[in-house]
Amino acid sequence: MSNTATTTEEHALQALRDSGLRLTQPRRCIIRALSRASEPLSPREVYQQLGEASCDQVTIYRCLGDLEQQGLVHRHEFGDGSTRYQLIAPDGGHSHYVVCRICQHRQPLDICPAPQLEASAAAHGFTGISHTLELFGVCPQCQQGSG
């Protein structure tokens, strides 16, 4: 496991402790799976990684909802009908993606324009602001007809 994944996992576990939610074994396992993943995971993918012995799918959905509510995971909708989750880094960093409409290839983007948008929403009196942002297009391989 990379040092960044370890730090992100430790941060998420501590934030969960600080939130007052119990640090159950399923929550630990889900956080570990998300911290080791190279891309966002669907609840089904988390379940496949953890295996049947760890916890059931209903528990995974419930735990992911708890983690999202606590601001520890970022939700992604890639247009394929499956929600995916990714741990938020200790510094609040997270990824957005551009998704190919043809082959579903996902490319992470290195910027997040949301701070300015969230500040504007806050200026209108909104609180508890969060965001999701995914872009869609056609990747270079599919443009060439090889996707």
The pLDDT tens digits for 97-110 are 899 999 989 898 88
pLDDT digits (tens, 9 = 90+) for 44-54: 999 999 987 77
55 annotated as ligand-binding: no
Residues 14-34 pLDDT 10s: 888 888 888 889 999 999 999
**pLDDT exceeds cutoff 70 at 2:** no
Q: What is the model's pLDDT at position 142? A: 94
Q: What is the pTM of this model?
A: 0.76
**Was 94 annotated as part of a binding site?**
yes
Residue 142 is labelled as binding a ligand: yes
> Measured between alpha carbons, how far is residue 82 from residues 21, 43, 69, 143 in Å?
26, 9, 19, 25
Q: What one-character-per-residue DSSP string does 19-69 give?
A: HT----HHHHHHHHHHHH-SS-B-HHHHHHHH-TTT--HHHHHHHHHHHHH
Residue 29 assigned ligand-binding role: no
Domain positions in the chain are 1-89, 95-147
In CATH terms, the fold of domain 95-147 is: Dna Ligase; domain 1 (3.30.1490)
Annotated binding-site residue? 131: yes
Give the fold, CATH level 3, of 1-89: Arc Repressor Mutant, subunit A (1.10.10)
